[in-house]
């Protein structure tokens, strides 16, 4: 059975902020998702100002899965985000959900997005999560990285 491949990436340009500083409302942020089914490909990308890198990494997967119409085919998700892949593979969200989306008494970061992602995941019969090395030699990961950077370029010129 043919599977669907979804390559995702998210990013933020934190301009001039100190290391570990918070994202400024003027910092461009973007996500991209490349959907591949046989010979067919579709690149999606969008962005906004003031979002974190992790926010955009999760958003990329949400948007990629949302765009898929067929839920009966196996889906392979590829991301360079340890945050996304480890959360899904280690099922950290199970405990978060049981604890009312709290971790150590504080709200889980991006809880609303994790809930949106899980709603999408539930639509599919089979999803496999794959960690890829960012900024390396994975052609499709490089393509989504280029797409989100193009989106951030447009945000900076707007």
Per-residue pLDDT reduced to its tens digit, 74-107: 999 999 999 999 999 999 999 999 999 999 889 9
The pLDDT value given to residue 18: 58
Digit-coded pLDDT (tens) for 114-146: 999 999 999 999 999 999 987 778 899 999 999
CA atoms within a 13 Å half-sphere pointing along the CA-CB vector of 58: 20
CA gap 67, 55 in Å, rounded: 18
Question: pLDDT for 20-55, tens place per residue?
Answer: 668 888 899 999 999 999 999 999 999 999 999 999
- Picking from 72, 1, 61, the residue whose alpha carbon sits closest to that of residue 35 is 61
Q: Which of 103, 97, 141 is nearest to 119 (CA)?
A: 97
User: Can you give the CATH number for the domain in which 49 is found?
Assistant: 3.30.420.10
- Cα distances from 119 to residues 11, 132, 133, in angstroms, run 23, 24, 27
Which domain does 90 fall in, by range? 4-157
pLDDT band of residue 158 (cuts 50, 70, 90) is confident
Can you tell me the mean pLDDT for 44-68? 97
Q: Are 31 and 79 in contact (CB under 8 A)?
A: no
Structurally, the chain folds into a number of domains equal to 1
Instruction: Please tell me what DSSP assigns to residue 27.
Output: S
């Amino acid at each position: 059975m043919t599977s669907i491949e979804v390559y995702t990436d998210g990013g933020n340009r934190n301009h001039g902020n100190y290391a570990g500083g918070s994202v400024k409302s003027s910092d461009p942020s973007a996500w991209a998702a490349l959907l591949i089914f046989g010979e067919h490909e579709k690149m999606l990308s969008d962005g906004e100002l003031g979002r974190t890198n992790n926010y955009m990494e999760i958003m990329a997967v949400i948007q990629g899965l949302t765009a898929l119409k067929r839920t009966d085919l196996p889906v392979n998700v590829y991301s360079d985000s340890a945050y996304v892949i480890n959360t899904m593979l280690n099922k950290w969200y199970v405990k978060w959900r049981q604890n009312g989306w709290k971790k150590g008494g504080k709200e889980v970061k991006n809880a609303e997005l994790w809930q949106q992602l899980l709603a999408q995941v539930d639509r599919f019969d089979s999803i496999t999560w794959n960690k890829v090395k960012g900024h390396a030699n994975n052609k499709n990961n490089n393509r989504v990285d280029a797409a989100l950077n193009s989106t951030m370029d447009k945000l900076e010129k707007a």
